Amino acid sequence: MSDCRQRVRLGKPKLSAMTDLAARPAARPAAPIAARTDAPVASRAVQTVMHPLRARLLEVAATERIGPRMQRITLAGDQLDAFPFPAFAAGDHVKLVLPDPVTGRIPLPGVRDDRLAMPGDADPILRDYTVRAYSADGLVLDFVRHDHGPAGRWAIAAKVGDPIGVLGPRGSHLYPRDYARYVLVADETALPAVGRWLDEPGWTAEVEVFALAAEAGEYPLPVRPRTRVHWLEHPIGPNRADVLAEVAGLIADLDDTFVWAAGEAGSLKPFRRALRAAGVPREASDIDGYWKLGTAGLDHHLPDED
């Protein structure tokens, strides 16, 4: 098996000729996948299923540095029972309830009539994170290590036994599984979701990954046959939009292809426009802005202005 990790100059990769390649992992993979909560996918469109709302108080069971700027944290606790983990739902995320910066307490909301009930006059610090894996070992979340946000600071300092609140997942997007080819485009914040895509057992489609990061190999992607990973090295900033627009030009004319992309919301706008202009059907793509430059705690459920 050869190493398909490559630094790419856009315009060079020939996506129509897939070879039997796999990404080389840079660290221990996520815990084995637990039994799936499968739901049937009736068409090639993205399907949505809702889950009962749960508020869980968990604690850190393990923490591990898995890359230059990535920290993997496994959460465990008695309240993890019945945690939903469907197949082909790589976009699943939970909302973390972070400790109060003054008191250190977790202002965990209650749930009434399937709605959140905030505790008194508390104003919890909430951040969304991808469900990287779930098994008997616990719930695995991967964090970008940085000290300019509350979640990044928490992940850097977290120790075994530290408590954390977890809300959801509230629902899942179930992606179609029968396209001939999949193109996955992600920045650092969305690479855990790409890892979950590549973990899918029994999935044999051809996969192209475009990983946009400050440095190649920042995140350990699982080994998977028929997969090619292109590392697009570019610093965080508004110019990443130009990089993604070029990627859209490479993939827009591929037949029988599903495109999934996630990352910084502003940089994804020209990518989305380029796919639309090329006539890529809406049902053959899913593009999600996970965060936005200059905005803390972006609600990515809100409709995009584009």
Average pLDDT over residues 275-302: 79
Under 8 Å between Cβ of 264 and 212: no
pLDDT in tens, 43-79: 688 999 999 999 999 999 999 999 999 999 999 999 9
pLDDT in tens, 156-165: 999 999 999 9
- Report the 10 Å Cβ neighbour count for 184: 24
Select from 3.40.640.10, 2.60.40.10, 3.40.50.720, 3.40.50.80 the CATH code of 175-291.
3.40.50.80
**How is the chain split into domains, by residue range?**
47-172, 175-291
Structure tokens at 304: 């995009």
Query: Of 95, 91, 102, 103, which is closest to residue 128 (Cα–Cα)?
Result: 95
pLDDT of residue 215: 92
Q: What is the 3-state secondary structure (H, E, C) of 50-114?
A: ECCCCEEEEEEEEEEEEECCEEEEEEECHHHCCCCCCCCCCCCEEEEEECCCCCCCCCCCEEECC
Question: Is residue 252 predicted with pLDDT exceeding 80?
Answer: no
Structure tokens at 3: 């190493």
CATH number assigned to the domain covering 47-172: 2.40.30.10
Q: What is the pTM of this model?
A: 0.85
C-alpha 278: how far from chain center: 26
Q: Give the pLDDT band of residue 6 (cuts 50, 70, 90).
A: low
Average pLDDT over residues 217-241: 93
If you average pLDDT over every residue of the chain, what do you get? 85
Under 8 Å between Cβ of 189 and 155: no
Question: Is residue 15 predicted with pLDDT exceeding 60?
Answer: no
Q: Give the pLDDT band of residue 217 (cuts 50, 70, 90).
A: very high
- Alpha-carbon distance 267 to 72, whole Å? 26
> Which helix (H) or strand (E) element contains residue 273?
helix 265-277
Question: Is residue 28 predicted with pLDDT exceeding 50?
Answer: no
Under 8 Å between Cβ of 199 and 222: yes
pLDDT of residue 253: 80
